[in-house]
């Protein structure tokens, strides 16, 4: 009888749990529909996150439904790229976060595909390789370039800049500033990857992650909390080393990311990473650009966080910023950014970004070797 009562109580608890979860799922869908945007990421041999090779998955928001196809090399692409660059071909390597990867966009509308298409239309025999991974800052971009991207022998390398990067760079701990010198920090930054890898082996988990709005709410909330905590821990550790690293005090940013008052330690680290990336890439005999992705204030107003970087750093970099072009194109009835998902660029926004990038890239001497004769 005791076993029967225990079994009955267990079944009741299980039934109530399922009922509660189903009710909560329905409630979220009816009252406050959420985007479902799972991240298919795993660890890489060079110690940072990467897209799961050969993954196929979908994102659903109130505005778009998008399929993601990842090739065997971890790039969002329907093609494979040999390490040896084909004769007469130039390569552009992109390193960025979800904006460059093309979240909320069909493959044909992504920055990588639009850039390649437009360069080819201008007579350049070009391949654009997209090494972007959601959540990347320049620390992970640099580590990926050094350990992986350079093997593909790109002629031009583009790093993305976004307002979230200073936090991402500090959080990763992959590099640190000692005085004015950038040094390698911890060997890897793989937050939650072991758990993610274990969960992704379960078909039930993948089904929930790919379809549950309730799970999406819980996952995103947990991720934000963990990121904020990690940044606070890193900042506290940096403060202990303040006499060695910097004599400047960080403003209190406990209320969240403030572009107008970025902590100096974060800015100094990000500036050093960009300058280090430029030196590394130029020494490899390649051209280097930084593409700025502004943040929307409204449909017609946009804000860049590049101005937070020291003037000396900005003067040494080739920075491509579309803010003015965005403002020229913008109208109250046009969306350059999606508004009901996670705020990524629309196809129109990417087209404007591509046009601004082409104005800088097309004249590059690094494309001379792949210029097609006229009439071809």
pLDDT of residue 254: 32
Q: Are residues 41 and 27 in the same domain?
A: no
Rounded to whole angstroms, the Cα distance separating 203 from 164 reads: 32
Say if residue 24 is in the same domain as residue 40: no
pLDDT digits (tens, 9 = 90+) for 59-68: 999 999 999 9
10 Å CB burial of residue 219 (0-12, 13-18, 19+) is middle
| Alpha-helix residue ranges (DSSP H) falling in 241-309 | 242-245, 264-283
DSSP 334: -
Identify whether residues 18 and 88 lie together within a single domain. no
Same domain, 56 and 158: yes
Share of the chain above pLDDT 70, in %: 77
More confident residue, 361 or 224: 361
- Residue 250: which CATH number? 3.40.50.1110
DSSP-derived pairing of the beta strands 302-303 and 295-296: antiparallel
Tell whether 70 is covered by a domain: yes
Say whether both 269 and 191 belong to one domain: yes
Residue 290 parent element (H or E): strand 287-292
pLDDT attached to residue 108: 98
Residues 75 and 13 reside in one and the same domain: no
* Domains of the chain: total: 2
Verify that 13 and 152 share a domain, yes or no.
no
Shortest CA distance to 158 belongs to which of 325, 356, 324?
Answer: 356
**Which tens digit of pLDDT belongs to each residue from 12-24?**
565 555 545 554 5
pLDDT at residue number 370: 86
Range of lowest pLDDT (27-31, 110-114, 205-209): 27-31
Q: Are residues 60 and 42 in the same domain?
A: yes
Same domain, 10 and 109: no
Q: Is the pLDDT of residue 372 over 80?
A: no
Question: Higher confidence at residue 346 or residue 265?
Answer: 346
What proportions of the chain, in percent to the nearest 5, are helix, strand and coil?
50, 15, 35
Tens of pLDDT, residues 256-267 = 345 445 678 899
pLDDT given at position 136: 97
What DSSP assignment string belongs to 24-83?
HHHHHHHHS---B----EEE-TTSSEEEPTT-EEEEE-SS-EEEEEB-TTS-BSSS---S
In angstroms, the CA 170 to CA 245 distance is: 13
| Residue 39: pLDDT over 70 | yes
Q: Are residues 258 and 361 in the same domain?
A: yes
**What is the per-residue pLDDT for 132?**
98
Predicted pLDDT of residue 211:
78
Domain span at 27: 1-32
- Tell me the per-residue pLDDT of 109-151, one tens digit each, with 9 for 90 and over: 999 999 999 999 999 999 999 999 999 999 999 999 999 999 9
Least confident of 171-180, 209-218, 304-313: 209-218
How many CB atoms are located within 10 Å of the residue 228 CB? Answer: 15
21 with 47, same domain?
Answer: no
φ, ψ at 87 (rounded to 5°): -60, 140
Q: State whether 146 and 19 are in the same domain.
A: no
């Amino acid at each position: 009888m005791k076993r029967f009562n225990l079994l009955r109580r267990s079944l009741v608890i299980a039934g109530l749990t399922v009922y509660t979860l189903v009710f909560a799922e329905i409630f979220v869908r009816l009252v406050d529909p959420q985007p479902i945007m799972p991240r298919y990421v795993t660890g890489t041999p060079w110690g940072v996150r990467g897209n799961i090779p050969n993954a196929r998955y979908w994102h659903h928001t109130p505005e778009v439904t998008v399929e993601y196809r990842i090739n065997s090399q971890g790039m969002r692409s329907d093609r494979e790229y040999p390490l040896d660059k084909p004769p007469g071909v130039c390569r552009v390597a992109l390193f960025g976060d979800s904006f460059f990867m093309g979240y909320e966009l069909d493959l044909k509308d992504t920055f990588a595909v639009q850039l390649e298409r437009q360069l080819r239309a201008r007579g350049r025999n070009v391949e654009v390789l997209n090494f972007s991974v959601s959540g990347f800052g320049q620390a992970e971009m640099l580590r990926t370039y050094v350990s992986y991207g350079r093997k593909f022998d790109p002629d031009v390398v583009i790093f993305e800049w976004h307002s979230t990067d200073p936090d991402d760079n500090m959080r990763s701990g992959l590099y640190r500033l000692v005085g004015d010198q950038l040094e390698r920090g911890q060997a890897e930054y793989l937050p939650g990857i072991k758990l993610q890898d274990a969960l992704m082996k379960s078909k039930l988990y993948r089904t929930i992650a790919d379809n549950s709005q309730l799970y999406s709410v819980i996952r995103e909330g947990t991720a934000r909390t963990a990121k904020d905590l990690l940044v606070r821990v890193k900042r506290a550790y940096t403060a202990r080393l303040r006499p060695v690293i910097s004599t400047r005090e960080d403003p209190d940013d406990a209320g969240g990311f403030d572009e107008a008052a970025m902590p100096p330690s974060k800015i100094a680290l990000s500036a050093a990473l960009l300058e280090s990336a430029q030196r590394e890439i130029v020494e490899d005999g390649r051209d280097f650009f930084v593409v700025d992705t502004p943040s929307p204030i409204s449909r017609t107003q946009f804000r860049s966080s590049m101005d937070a970087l020291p003037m000396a750093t900005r003067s040494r970099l080739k920075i491509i910023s579309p803010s003015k072009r965005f403002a020229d194109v913008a109208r109250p009835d046009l969306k350059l950014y999606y508004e009901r998902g996670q705020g990524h660029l629309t196809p129109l926004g990417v087209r404007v970004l591509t046009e601004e990038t082409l104005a800088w890239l097309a004249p590059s001497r690094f494309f001379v070797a792949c210029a097609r004769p006229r009439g071809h």
